[in-house]
Amino acid sequence: MRQSVLLRRVLLLGLFFVVLPFFLIMMLNLPSTNSKSEWDEFGRESSGLVKNGHTGDSHKLNVIEEDTEGIVYKEETLRTPDWYLTVEHTEKFGINKVSVEVYKGIREKIWEMEDQLIMARAYLQFAPPNSSNSHLVKELKLRIKEIQRLLAHTTANYHLSRSALQKIRQMEATLFRAQAAYPDCSAMASKLRAMTSNTEEQLRAQQKQASYLTQVVARTMPKGLHCFSLSLISEYFRMDAEKRVLPRGHLVEDPDLYHYAVFSDNVLACSVVVNSTICNSKEPDKIVFHIITDSQNFPTMSAWFLLNPPTPATIQIEAIENLKNLPSNFSSSFKFHGIQDLRFTSPLNYLRFYLPQIFPFLSKVLLLDHDVVVRKDLGELWQVDMEGNVNLAVEACDNTGYSFNRIKTILNFSEPVMASNFDGDTCIWAFGMNLFNLDEWRRHDLTDSFHKWLQLGKERQLWSGGTLPIGQMVFYNHTIALDRSWHLFGLGQPNFRLVSEHELEKAAVLHYNGNRKPWLEISIPRYKVYWKKYLNYNNSFLLRCNIHE
Ligand SMILES: *[C@@H]1O[C@H](CO)[C@@H](O)[C@H](O)[C@H]1NC(C)=O
Ligand SMILES: *[C@@H]1O[C@H](CO)[C@@H](O)[C@H](O)[C@H]1NC(C)=O
Ligand SMILES: *[C@@H]1O[C@H](CO)[C@@H](O)[C@H](O)[C@H]1NC(C)=O
Ligand SMILES: *[C@@H]1O[C@H](CO)[C@@H](O)[C@H](O)[C@H]1NC(C)=O
Ligand SMILES: *[C@@H]1O[C@H](CO)[C@@H](O)[C@H](O)[C@H]1NC(C)=O
Ligand SMILES: *[C@@H]1O[C@H](CO)[C@@H](O)[C@H](O)[C@H]1NC(C)=O
C-alpha cells in the first residue's frame, strides 16, 4: 500500500519535472507542428516596414556598402530561436544575397529560464503562509520577476548580457535553497494530482496509452492545451466503441455538398476553424468538414467533435496513417538535407499536394489552414469562375513595383532550371484559404509535377523550406487571383504591418500565420479577439484545464 503511494508520487513528480519542461521546450520549438504557410514563408511582408522607414527593434536594417548597383542594404528578415536569415538587397535590383546565421546557446538559456520559472512558481504555491521562510518567499518572487523580464527580453532579441547570466545563476541559488526548505513534496504531489486528474488512472489502467501520452505531450503545445489534449483522450477511451461514431456519416462523400479540408494536430485550432465557418455560413447544412490529423491526435480530435458536433454540418475525422492512395513512402518523403524543423518536414504539411488522391470522389475542395478564423460566408467561392485554373488564392504583392513578394525572393533563381521555367517577377500567392479544382488538377497531373520538383529540390538548393515555395512551382500557370479581402494573412507575425480595423472587419478569413498563434500566450491581443469569439471558454474541458481568454 505504502509502496504504491510512493510509486504514484514518483510518477507524478516525474511527470512534473520531466514532462512539463519537455513540452515547454516543445512549445518554444514548435509553436505548431502544422502551421503550413508559416510566418517565415510570408516573412517578406514585413519588409514593408523597412520601406516606410520604420524599423522595429528586432528588424535591423544596415547599409553595408555602396557599389555600382547602388546602396546595398543588409536586413534581418526571418527569425527563429535557432537562426535568422539576413538578406542583402539594393533598392534597384532587389535581393542579391541570402544568408543564414545561427545563434549559439540562446535557446538552451531560454529553456533553462522557462524551467526555473516553473520550479519557482511551484515552490511559491506550496510555501505555507506566514512560515519562517517568508524571506525565501520574497526572494522567490523577486527572482521570478527578474527572470520573467529577462525571458521576455531574450525571446525578443536573442541576446543575453553578462548581467543576465548572473541573474540566471542567482535564481539557481534561490531554487536550491527552496528545495532544501520544502523537502516534503506531498502537497505538491496532491496538487499535481488535481492537475492531471483522471489521466493518472488512465495511465495505470491502460499501459498502452503511455506511449500515446508521451507522444501527445511531445507534439502538442503549452500548459493547459496539454491537459486539454490528455483529458479528451481519456474521454475517448472511456466511450463505448459504438458511441465513437460521428453523425451524418453517409454525407461524407456527397459531391453535391461543399467540402472543406483541414490538416492539423491541434484540436482547439480545428474547433475554431470549424465553428467559425459554420457560424458564418448561409447554408451550414451543406458543409462537410474533413479533418485529417495523425494517429496520436486522432482520439483527441474525435472526442472533441463527438462531444461538440458541428450541427447541422457534417464532419469526418481521419488519421493520416489510414489514408489510402498515398504513395507508400509518403511519410518519409519530406526529409530535406539540413532541415530539421518539423514545420518544414511534417507529412501533414505536405498532404495538400495529394488532394485528388485523398478525395477521389470530389471535384472541388476548399483547403483551410488551421490557424485561420472564418468571418464571412464562403459559399460564394464555389461560384467563382476559375477559368480552367486549379488554385484560387489571394496574392501577396503590393503592386508598388518593389521586388518583395515575388517568387524570385523565395525560389533560387541562380539555378538555371528556375529561370528557364518561371518568371521571377510572378507574384507569390498565399496558402491558408485555397479553393482547388481537383478535376483540372488531375487533368494536368500536378501531383506528378510536385514529385518532380520535390526530387529536384533534394538534389539542388532550389528553395529554403516549407510548402509555399514548392507550391508556387506546382501551381504556376494554374493559379487565379482572388480579391484580397477574402484572406488577410500575416496576423501572427511579430513585425507585420499595422492592419487597420477596416481591413480586419472586411476580411472573410483572418490568417494568423506567424509564430504568435491565437492559442498561445504570445498571441497579439488585438487580433486574437476575432479568434476567441468562436471558442466556448465555458466548456468543461477548457475550464478544467484552466484555459481562459
Ligand atoms: C499571517 O500574517 C498576517 C500579517 O502578517 C496576519 O494578519 C495573519 O493573522 C497571519 N495568519 C496566520 C494564520 O498566522
Ligand atoms: C518514393 O517512391 C517513388 C517511386 O515509387 C520514388 O521515385 C521516390 O524517390 C521515393 N521517395 C523516397 C523519399 O524514397
Ligand atoms: C506557363 O504558360 C506559358 C504560356 O502559356 C508557357 O509558355 C510556359 O511554358 C508555362 N510554364 C510552365 C512552368 O508550365
Ligand atoms: C542557389 O543556387 C546556387 C547555384 O546552384 C547555389 O550555389 C546556391 O547555394 C543556392 N542558394 C541558396 C540560398 O540556396
Ligand atoms: C462557436 O461559436 C459560437 C459563437 O461565438 C459560440 O457561442 C459557441 O460556444 C462556439 N462553440 C464551440 C463548440 O466552441
Ligand atoms: C460562462 O459561465 C458563467 C457562469 O456560469 C456565466 O456567467 C457566463 O455568462 C458564461 N459565459 C458564456 C460565454 O457563456
pLDDT in tens, 32-60: 323 333 323 332 222 222 222 222 333 33
Which of 295, 279, 299 is CA-nearest to residue 287? 279
- In the structure, what pLDDT confidence band is assigned to residue 110 with cuts at 50, 70 and 90? confident
Residue 155 Cβ contacting ligand 2 at under 6 Å:
no
Which residue, by CA, sits nearest to atom 6 of ligand 3?
477
What mean pLDDT do residues 195-199 have? 39
pTM above 0.75, yes or no: no
Ligand at shortest distance from the CA of 423: 3
pLDDT tens digits, one per residue of 374-428: 999 999 999 999 999 999 999 988 755 555 688 998 899 999 999 999 999 999 9
Ligand 5 close to Cβ of residue 533 (< 6 A): yes
**233, three cell numbers:** 483522450
Q: Given this model, what pLDDT does residue 448 score?
A: 96
Give the Cα separation of 352 and 372 in Å (integer): 16
* Sheet order of strands, 509-511 included: 372-374, 509-511, 487-489
Q: DSSP secondary structure string, 243-263?
A: G---TTGGGTT-TTSEEEEEE
Range(s) of the chain covered by CATH 3.90.550.10:
223-544
Q: Percent of the chain having pLDDT more than 70?
A: 68
Contacts of 279 (CB under 8 A, 6+ apart): 534
The strand pair at 70-79 and 83-90 is best described as: antiparallel
Distance CA 292, CA 318 (A): 5
Instruction: Give domain 223-544's CATH superfamily.
Output: Spore Coat Polysaccharide Biosynthesis Protein SpsA; Chain A (3.90.550.10)
Question: What pLDDT score does 91 carry?
Answer: 55
Average pLDDT over residues 178-193: 53
Q: How confident is the model at residue 522 (pLDDT cuts 50, 70, 90)?
A: confident
- Give 413 Cα–ligand 4 centroid separation in angstroms: 8
Q: Give yes or no for residue 446 having a pLDDT over 60.
A: yes
Check if 329 has its Cβ closer than 6 Å to any atom of ligand 2.
yes
Q: Does the Cβ of 476 fall within 6 Å of ligand 3?
A: yes
477 pocket-lining for ligand 3 (C-beta < 6 Å): yes
Q: Is the pLDDT of residue 547 over 50?
A: yes
Instruction: Kindly state if the Cβ of 452 falls inside 6 Å of ligand 3.
Output: no
- Residue 82 clears pLDDT 70, i.e. is over it: no
Atom of ligand 4 nearest to the CA of 460: 5
Q: So what's the pLDDT on residue 47?
A: 25
| Integer Cα distance of 284 and 377 in angstroms | 9
CB of 328 sitting under 6 A from ligand 2 = no
**How confident is the model at residue 253, as a pLDDT?**
95
Q: Which atom of ligand 5 is nearest to the CA of 538?
A: 9
CA of 350 to the centre of ligand 2 (A): 15
Report the pLDDT value the prediction gives residue 421, as an integer from 0 to 100: 96
What is residue 478's predicted lDDT score, i.e. its pLDDT? 98
Q: Which of 263-277, 398-412, 490-504, 510-524 has the highest mean pLDDT?
A: 263-277
Share of the chain above pLDDT 90, in %: 40
Asked if the model's pLDDT at residue 536 lies above 70, the reply is: yes
Confidence grade of residue 12 (pLDDT, cut at 50, 70, 90): very low
When comparing pLDDT for 252 and 241, which is higher? 252
Is 60 exceeded by the pLDDT of residue 370?
yes
**Distance from the CA of 325 to the center of ligand 2, in angstroms?**
15
Please report which ligand is nearest the Cα atom of 134. 1
Q: Tell me if 360 CB under 6 Å of ligand 2.
A: no
Cβ–ligand 2 contact at 131 (below 6 Å): no
Query: How would you class 498 by CB atoms within 10 Å of its CB: exposed for 0-12, middle for 13-18, buried for 19 or more?
Result: exposed
